[in-house]
Amino acid sequence: MPTPIHSYRKYWAECFGPAPELPMSRAEMDALGWDSCDIIIVTGDAYVDHPSFGMAVIGRLLEAQGFRVGIIAQPDWTNTDAFRALGKPNLFFGVSAGNMDSMINRYTADRKRRNDDAYTPDNQGGKRPDRAVIVYSQRLREAYREVPLVIGSIEASLRRIAHYDYWSDKIRRSILLDSRADLLLYGNAERAIVDVAHRLAAGEPIQRIRDLRGTAFVRKRVPDGWREIDSTSIDRVGPVDKPANPYSAQSPAECSPEEVQVTQGEDVVRILDKVDDERPAVVRIPSFEQVRADPALYAHASRILHKETNPHNARPLVQAHGDREVWLNSPPIPLSTDELDWVFELPYTRLPHSHYGEARLPAYEMIRHSVNIMRGCFGGCTFCSITEHEGRIIQNRSESSILREVEKIRDTSPAFTGVISDLGGPTANMWRLACKSKDIEAKCRKLSCVFPGICKNLDTNQKPLVELYRKARELPGIKKVLIASGLRYDIAVETPEYVRELVTHHVGGYLKIAPEHTEDAPLNKMMKPGIGTYDRFKALFDKYSREAGKEQYLIPYFIAAHPGTSDRDMMNLALWLKRNKFRADQVQTFYPSPMATATAMYYSGKNPLQRITRDSDTMPTVRGLSQRRLHKAFLRYHDPDNWPMLRTALKKMGRADLIGNGKMHLVPPRQPGKRHAVVAGSQPFATQHNGLPRTPSRRRRGKQ
């Protein structure tokens, strides 16, 4: 078992005590009586001392270990001056792009630059560079070449091996090489960062720290004593070549088509546990040069990496980059409930740093009165990076810790009006859900516990969550507890009592859920349940809303242009929207984030959810801008600006019968006049993919 993160002997600087807020300037350091910082964190976000912001969690965690921690937030990266503001740290620099990947933060799915940034004061764009981890690291190397450099955050986590980069449309090498960092911490890094800090403080060189879970680094070669498992090629399936019988007239080509052989590839990884060799094993995946040259090998490498994510059975991975080896240790062991409670109850102010004055921080305003109750997700959606970053084993806070945080918000937040905006996390309703058997969980390599159906070993009882909701809203001074995190509705229907509680007390008129599509082909590539599960949930939602005497609506979200989606799939989705009277205001086009399984599909045309072979079918991928726009247009079938494009597409698809003015038609035969017509029968509210419906009732609720 790992050492509990709150049981380390504290560093000598604990005598200074916790800082009111971690310093961002020399003047603040002087006021605290510090002559130097032990650790300095450089981040792409504005500094908000709230447990929903990664730099605050890591900063307060290290402070609780006795270290003096400074923050350099959103520095000017054009020179080294801002990076010298706090001086030279005694132990190391930590670099983070922030809560979001800097490229996803700055660009839309159509690669257009955004003009805003919710993690920057007054929503101002352009305050962080592209590929922030690399740029910040390069400036730090220029300023203090000899200081150890540790990189982390979701940006580094998802780029720990060779990866497809959507913005340059090419394979990039591991971020370790471009940043020249000494160590990369991936996933939730509390265990690793605490151990790194104490070992450096004890005088151990960072080049010797090579045994920590959840870390990646560069080395010259695989060290002695390791058993190397070669998975650098993919399966080749074909007929067995029987030796010719010189005494027979039968052709050797007439062997049974069932007689096939499989050489190398994933089978090697699958059976390596049976090898009688006590040496530790490392799995070699295709090199950077191989995956850059062969998209099928890229898909194969993605499949192997995702099979090696269970911290209880995952082996280290190694990937060659020229004459250097990028080594990934096994994922970190999840935090216990006791440890997670301790992390979330550190002395956060829950406020932006006073340096920002009255400036608005939209990301903070969205979450300041929310409470994170868990981490991780076992859904495994292929377009999402939560599992790659946080893991699929749920880390839970205790009920008492959650309720204490609700009370702290009530008692200390000057803007609190009695409404908790969310009790959730990556998902709303996975708190305390886990495999029924620890032995099975330790051996499982499934990418999802709920696809293609809910695993029989998964405990789906959400009654403890019902009790948590009841206790939270019964606290004195709490008027309302809303649930704003994404709801996993296929799990929710397993506990109807949970749906009743949610609908009766915790929905603010509209509930966001994400079926993502209606057609089986794209849903299977997403690892999402069929639309029938949505129908089951909607029936319960409508029933309990009526019983509560409330007029409430479901807001379903959908993705356009996901790998595996055809034009006909999008047409059928548009017809479903029309039948159900939904009009999407803003829609989400598939965004290929680094290391996601769906990104491997997008780049390679192969399906990493199945074994990759040279004979694997090529799946449809939507790469061209015109087709991506068409798929988006199908979701916004009601927008007259999209009608010419849709009419042309429907004619090409042989579905001109859907062009007309009737309720059964998708688009009218001609453009309207100056005043745009509204498609008949559509629901009278607009939805947007990244927020609640924009309606007068929502604006009124916002003022309550």
> pLDDT of 463-504, one tens digit each?
999 999 999 999 999 999 999 999 999 999 999 999 999 999
159-210 pLDDT per residue, tens = 999 999 999 999 999 999 999 999 999 999 999 999 999 999 999 999 999 9
Task: In whole angstroms, give the CA distance from residue 119 to residue 485.
Answer: 19
State yes or no: pLDDT of 690 exceeds 60.
Answer: no
Residue ranges at the known binding site: 377, 381, 384
Task: In whole angstroms, give the CA distance from residue 23 to residue 19.
Answer: 8
256 confidence band (pLDDT: 50, 70, 90)? very low
> What average pLDDT does range 122-126 have in this prediction?
96
> What average pLDDT does range 416-432 have in this prediction?
96
Output the CATH code of domain 507-672: 3.30.750.200
* 369-503 topology per CATH: Transcription Regulator spoIIAA (3.30.750)
Confidence (pLDDT) at 403:
98
Q: Supply φ then ψ for residue 295, to 5 degrees.
A: -60, -30
**Rg (alpha carbons) of the chain, rounded to whole number:** 27
Residue ranges at the known binding site for [4Fe-4S] cluster: 377, 381, 384
Buried b or exposed e, range 280-290, using 16+ CB within 10 angstroms = eebbbbbbbeb
Picking from 487, 389, 340, the residue whose alpha carbon sits closest to that of residue 100 is 389
Task: In whole angstroms, give the CA distance from residue 93 to residue 83.
Answer: 10
Confidence (pLDDT) at 653:
97
> What average pLDDT does range 66-70 have in this prediction?
98
pTM above 0.75, yes or no: yes
Ranges of each domain in the chain: 14-211, 221-235+279-322, 369-503, 507-672
Residues 331/307, Cβ–Cβ less than 8 Å: no
Q: How buried is 61 (Cβ within 10 angstroms: 0-12 exposed, 13-18 middle, 19+ buried)? A: buried
> Which residue intervals of 272-398 are DSSP H helices?
288-293, 295-307, 337-344, 362-367, 386-390
Q: 687 has which bridge partners?
A: 584
Confidence (pLDDT) at 1:
81
State yes or no: pLDDT of 681 exceeds 60.
Answer: no
CA-to-CA dists, residue 11 to 15, 91, 430, 505, angstroms: 9, 12, 36, 47
Buried b or exposed e, range 250-270, using 16+ CB within 10 angstroms = eeeeeeeeeeeeeeebbebbe
Confidence (pLDDT) at 469:
98
CATH superfamily name and code, 14-211: Cobalamin-binding domain (3.40.50.280)
Domains 369-503 and 507-672 in one fold: yes
What is the DSSP code string of 438-476?
Answer: HHHHHH---S-SSSSS--TTB----HHHHHHHHHHHTST
Task: In whole angstroms, give the CA distance from residue 522 to residue 208.
Answer: 46
